């Protein structure tokens, strides 16, 4: 059974007793009768007391309060009297719950509410901030802030003083009452919202806030401050009714340098000024995209390309060539060779490196030191051009040292009446300037020059021609002017 404090004390209040009248000293005729009645009354009371001890014996009761359990032996049933017997003081707002042989004391929680310049002391069993404010008749609006023990709270924030269940608690389980020695457990401070004028990038807006600092008020209003934003007064300033706040947002630039990207903030109008403000320096060939004269826009992307130029010289050995030139002073198969010498070519380059990657390579100048001197083979100007070859501007591809022999149609082993007599492997009649070779060494159709014989074409093969061998062709009836032996054979470009 639950009682309020007032009910418990009212029920335990004794009724007023009337004092008996003073009688005169004279003995009335009925004195003896009164005496007998008094004795009868005393006897009755004594008998009633004796019966009360027998019929209504004292009961053992456990009182749970302030974290302690006190057991008393009493025939008293009123909670207030039992608390007084146990030496327990009840406070306003406390709740008493009696169940069987236990009496539970649920303490109200001390609370202090600061609002509108007033400080209200109170005891409460409110379960939430809103419930406590309703008990005190305090109204708050959406812009006001309630601080619970110094921390911003919502109307639904729970308080520790809620009523325990009206049902009897389980035997032996303490519902953790608030002990009397505890300090004040609830301090609510109601901060009223005040008007603030914010001029953001020249645009004025009005807001209301009950926050303690300007930074918190701006955050509640959805105004986000960047790292380089200018705010006056300081965001840490306390909120004051009617205050004016000026905000100038910095513009963000996404700047790429090489493989990395960083964000810089600026209030300056030109990209060149923003980069200089960020402490970036430029080399004489560095490039900025867009140009340094570009106007700054919030969220724009820019790129700084580090450009480095380098000049270097390459050295390239160059082999000399062998060339042919006619000589009017020579006749027949005579030839004259003038050796040349190799040279060295130098090239001076300039390369451009952007962000570590070579992007351009330019030849600044080129020279030879020493110069190339070609080897010249002079031949008789009257020499017949073999097989229609154009010997002008011929170049030597390579030179082989070969065993050089000669042959004609008669030495081929075929009878003059044989259909293949005097016919080469390529199908052409044997003539001066057609030679037999090993095709695995000198491919058929290769143009050659053999000093002392002249220009020739590899057009024939032979069973005895193997490896570095060349068999020079002569038509029948033509005097052979070649002596078999080793000679340099020049392989000409196609």
Question: Is position 165 within any domain?
Answer: yes
My answer on whether 348 and 331 are in the same domain is yes
Residue 56 vs residue 492, higher pLDDT: 492
Per-residue pLDDT tens digits for 311-366 = 989 999 998 888 888 888 888 777 888 999 999 999 999 998 888 888 889 999 99
Length of the chain: 494
Count up the domains in the chain and report the number.
6
Over residues 40-75, the pLDDT tens digits come to 777 766 665 555 545 556 777 788 876 778 887 776
Same domain, yes or no: 59 and 96: yes
Same domain, 449 and 466: yes
Containing structural domain, residue 325: 310-375
Q: What is the pTM of this model?
A: 0.46
Kindly state whether residues 403 and 481 are assigned to the same domain.
Answer: yes
Q: Is the pLDDT of residue 443 over 90?
A: yes
Query: Is residue 343 in a domain?
Result: yes
Asked if residue 88 belongs to a domain, the reply is yes
Q: Does 388 lie in the same domain as 408?
A: yes
pLDDT of residue 227: 86
pLDDT band, residue 32 (cuts 50/70/90): low
User: What is the domain-level CATH number for residue 262?
Assistant: 3.10.20
pLDDT at site 45: 66
Cα 229 versus chain centre, distance: 24
Given a contact cutoff of 8 angstroms between Cβ atoms, the answer to whether 288 and 324 are in contact is: no
Q: Quickly state the pLDDT bin for 6 (edges 50, 70, 90).
A: very low
| Same domain (yes/no): 5, 96 | yes
**Same-domain check for residues 98 and 128:** no
Classify residue 131: in a domain, yes or no: yes
Answer with the one of 271, 287, 305 that is the final residue of a domain: 305
pLDDT band at 281 (very low <50, low <70, confident <90, very high): confident
Residue 59: what pLDDT?
76
Do 396 and 451 fall into the same domain? Answer: yes
Residue-wise pLDDT tens digits, 80-113: 777 777 778 777 777 777 777 787 777 788 889 9
Beta bridge partners of 380: 327
- Closest by CA position to 123, among listed 92, 158, 157, 85: 92
- Please check whether residue 24 lies inside any domain of the structure: no
Interval 128-181: pLDDT, tens: 999 999 988 999 988 888 999 888 888 889 887 543 333 334 434 444 443 444
Q: Is the pLDDT of residue 4 over 60?
A: no
Are 83 and 8 members of one domain?
A: yes
* Domain termination site, one of 47, 74, 106: 106
In this structure, are 1 and 102 located in the same domain?
A: yes
Confirm whether 20 is domain-assigned.
Answer: no
Identify the CATH number of the domain in which residue 456 sits.
2.40.40.10
What does residue 135 show for φ and ψ, rounded to 5 degrees? -60, -35
- 362-415 pLDDT, tens digit each: 999 999 999 999 888 888 776 644 434 455 567 788 999 999 999 998 887 788
Instruction: Give the contacts of 83 (CB within 8 A, at least 6 positions apart).
Output: 8, 63, 65, 89, 90, 96, 103, 105
Residue 475 maps to a domain: yes
Q: What is the CATH number of the domain that holds 158?
A: 3.10.20.30
Q: Kindly state the tokens that stand for 491.
A: 């392989």
The C-alpha atoms of residue 181 and residue 204 are separated, in whole angstroms, by 54
Q: Of 204, 220, 248, which residue is a domain's last? A: 248
**Statement: residue 3 has pLDDT above 70:** no
102 and 118 co-located in one domain: no
* β-pair partners for 311: 350
Same domain, 274 and 180: no
Q: Label residue 114 by pLDDT band (50, 70, 90).
A: very high
Find out whether 247 and 201 touch, Cβ atoms under 8 Å: yes
Residue 30 belongs to a domain: no
Q: So what's the pLDDT on residue 13?
A: 47
> Residue 184 CB: number of other CB atoms within 10 A?
11
């Amino acid at each position: 059974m639950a009682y309020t404090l007032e009910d418990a004390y009212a029920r335990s209040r004794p009724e007023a007793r009337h004092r008996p009248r003073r009688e005169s000293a004279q003995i009335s005729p009925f004195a003896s009768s009164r005496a007998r009645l008094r004795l009868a009354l005393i006897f009755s009371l004594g008998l009633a007391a004796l019966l009360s001890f027998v019929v209504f014996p004292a009961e053992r009761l456990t009182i749970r309060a302030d974290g302690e359990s006190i057991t008393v032996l009493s025939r008293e049933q009123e909670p207030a009297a039992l608390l007084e017997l146990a030496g327990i003081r009840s406070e306003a707002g406390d709740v008493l719950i009696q169940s069987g042989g236990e009496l539970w004391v649920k303490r109200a929680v001390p609370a202090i509410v600061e609002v509108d310049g007033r400080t209200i002391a109170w005891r409460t069993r409110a379960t939430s901030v809103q419930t406590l404010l309703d008990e005190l008749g305090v109204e708050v609006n959406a812009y006001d802030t309630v601080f619970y023990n110094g921390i911003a709270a919502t109307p639904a924030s729970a308080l520790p003083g809620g009523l325990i269940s009206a049902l009897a608690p389980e035997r032996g389980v303490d519902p953790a009452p608030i002990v009397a020695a505890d300090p004040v457990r609830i301090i609510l401070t109601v901060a009223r919202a005040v008007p603030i004028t914010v001029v953001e990038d020249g645009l004025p807006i009005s807001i209301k806030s009950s926050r303690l600092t300007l930074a918190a008020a701006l955050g509640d209003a959805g105004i986000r401050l960047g790292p380089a934003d200018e705010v006056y007064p300081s965001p840490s300033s306390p909120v004051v009714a009617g205050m004016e706040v000026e905000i100038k947002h910095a513009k963000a630039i996404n700047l790429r340098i090489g493989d990395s990207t960083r964000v810089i903030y600026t209030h300056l109008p030109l990209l060149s000024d923003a980069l200089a403000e960020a402490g970036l320096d430029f080399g004489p060939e560095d490039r900025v995209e867009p140009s340094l004269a570009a106007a700054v826009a919030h969220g724009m992307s820019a790129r700084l390309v580090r450009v480095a130029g380098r000049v270097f010289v390459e050295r390239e050995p160059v082999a000399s060539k062998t060339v042919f030139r006619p000589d009017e002073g020579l006749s027949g198969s005579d030839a004259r060779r003038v050796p040349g010498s190799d040279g060295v070519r130098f090239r001076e380059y300039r390369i451009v490196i952007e962000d570590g990657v070579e992007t351009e390579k330019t030849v600044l100048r080129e020279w030879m030191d020493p110069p190339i001197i070609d080897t010249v083979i002079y031949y008789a100007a009257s020499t017949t051009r073999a097989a229609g070859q154009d010997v002008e501007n011929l170049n030597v591809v390579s030179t082989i040292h070969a065993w050089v022999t000669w042959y004609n149609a008669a030495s081929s082993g075929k009878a003059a009446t044989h259909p293949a007599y005097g016919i080469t492997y390529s199908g052409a009649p044997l003539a001066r300037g057609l030679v037999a070779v090993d095709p695995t060494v000198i491919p058929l159709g290769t143009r050659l020059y053999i000093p002392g014989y002249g220009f020739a074409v590899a057009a024939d093969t032979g069973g005895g021609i193997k490896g570095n061998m060349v068999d020079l062709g002569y038509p029948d009836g033509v005097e052979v002017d070649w002596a078999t032996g080793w000679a340099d054979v020049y392989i000409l470009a196609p």
